[in-house]
Amino acid sequence: MSVATRPQPATPPGREQPPVPGGARHVPEGASEQAPSSNQRRFVVGFLGSCLGLLAAILAFNVVIDPFALAGSGIVPTAVESDRSIKLDLLQHLKRGPETLILGSSRSRQAEPAFLRKLTGHSGFNAGVTGGTSADEYVFVRFAADLFPHQKRRYIWFTDVGLAGGGVLPQLAHDPRAHRYLAGGAGFGLGDVKTYLSTDATKASWRVFRKCVLSTCHSQIRYNPDGSLTNQSLRYLPEHAKSLRASVAKEIAGVRTHHETLPQARADLAQPGRFSYFERALAFMSKRGEEPVIVLNPVYPTVLAELNKYGYASRRATLEKVAALHERFRFVFVDAQDIRTWGGNDYDWTNATHINRANMRRLLRYVVAHSDGALR
């Protein structure tokens, strides 16, 4: 494929090239004209064949392996933790309904219902799931209520700044027990084709393929019947970083790169549909006369200091939203972002965003003490 540039126009005799900005204007002349057109045709065929062929092969591979559980092929286990279905199973098999339900993302998975029972005297179930969203929380609230309809429940609901969001993950939507509580279907759409053409999906597929097809794979994370992590599982949690320091440095760099203004943070919270499942869950609880305790997750001290340095607009917008929600729903709000308020320390963390079991026990003590009796 040769493209030769036309030689630059010669400088007129007796006049030196002026020191001006401005290149010679070239129009490419394809020296490939000398090449036979059959060769050029083969080049194009080779290009299109390999490009489209490779993309089709990648898409097929990712759909078959289905690492993010988008296509529902179900041939091999997914790369993402399948804890939604596991926890729905555990909840379904409980003989008596849990008096306290713990909701949230992986940050809440360290909460032990057994420890909470010592503090409150009530049984509990940990329904926190990896990457948990408002939709997950709504489904667990509804599912528990349907399983044990005549029981009023207490809730500890761990959330991040921003409170709600994340949409409906396919894993949740594909589970028939959850599907009935969710609006809309979960078909494999064009957006999923884009996802499955990506390098991230391909890397995930390859990991699954290596672990589950070339050898036998099994999940290393195990749960107790009350939804808490087994002691053995604590060693394998995917959120464990190799180094807390590196994880914190990365988080701080992220804060410096992406800090929002207050209008941006407010606009984020005002996105249509963002609070759909969050408010539905609150409305459902209110209707049943239940009062959840919403806990704002802890933030690593140096990360929090960095956020405060930039005004921490997202927290301010969140507090405004909490005040607005308080006018419509009953709930107790506990801001646990600053570990000094609940006696946490800066080494009982598994990475910059996840506290470990020791810190979680300290946090639970504080939450119970500041729940205005909602957990008693």
Q: Which residues of the shown chain bind another protein in the complex (CB under 8 A)?
A: 1-5, 17-28, 30-33, 35, 37-52, 54-55, 58, 194-195, 197-200, 202, 249, 253, 256-257
Nearest residue to 90 via CA among 141, 125, 137:
125
State how far Cα 16 lies from the chain centre: 63
Between residues 21 and 272, which has the closer beta carbon with respect to another protein? 21
Minimum distance, C-beta of residue 66 to another protein, in the bound complex (Å): 17
- Closest CB to another protein among residues 42, 152: 42
Toward another protein, which CB reaches closer, 23 or 149?
A: 23
Residue with Cβ nearer another protein (251 or 290): 251
- Least spacing, CB of residue 306 vs another protein, in Å: 11
Least CB distance to another protein at residue 194 (A): 6
Comparing CB distances to another protein, the nearer of 194 and 376 is 194
How buried is 184 (Cβ within 10 angstroms: 0-12 exposed, 13-18 middle, 19+ buried)? exposed
Tell me how far, at minimum, the Cβ of 227 lies from another protein, in Å. Answer: 33
339: phi then psi, degrees, rounded to nearest 5: -65, -20
- Beta strands (DSSP E) in the chain are 100-103, 124-126, 154-159, 293-296, 332-335
100 and 375 in contact (C-beta within 8 Å)? yes
CB closer to another protein, 58 vs 322: 58
Residue count (the chain): 376
- Residue recorded with tokens 């993950």: 169
Query: What backbone phi and psi angles, to 5 degrees, belong to 35?
Result: -75, 145
What span, in angstroms and rounded, lies between the C-alpha atoms of 151 and 285?
A: 12
Distance, in Å, from the CA atom of 180 to the CA atom of 123, rounded to the nearest integer, reads 27
Q: What is the DSSP string of 183-195?
A: SS-----HHHHHH
Minimal distance in Å, beta carbon 217 to another protein? 25
**CB contact at 8 A, 68 and 195:** yes
The phi and psi torsions of 29 (rounded to 5 degrees) equal -110, 120
CB of 50 to another protein, least distance (A): 3
Residue 4 CB, nearest approach to another protein (Å): 7
Measured from the CB of residue 289, what is the shortest distance to another protein in angstroms?
A: 45
Of the pair 44, 60, the CB lying nearest another protein is at 44
Residue nearer to another protein on the CB measure, 37 or 216: 37
The one-character DSSP state at 221 is: -
| CA distances from residue 226 to 96, 103, 135, 291, 340 in whole angstroms, order as listed | 11, 13, 21, 21, 29
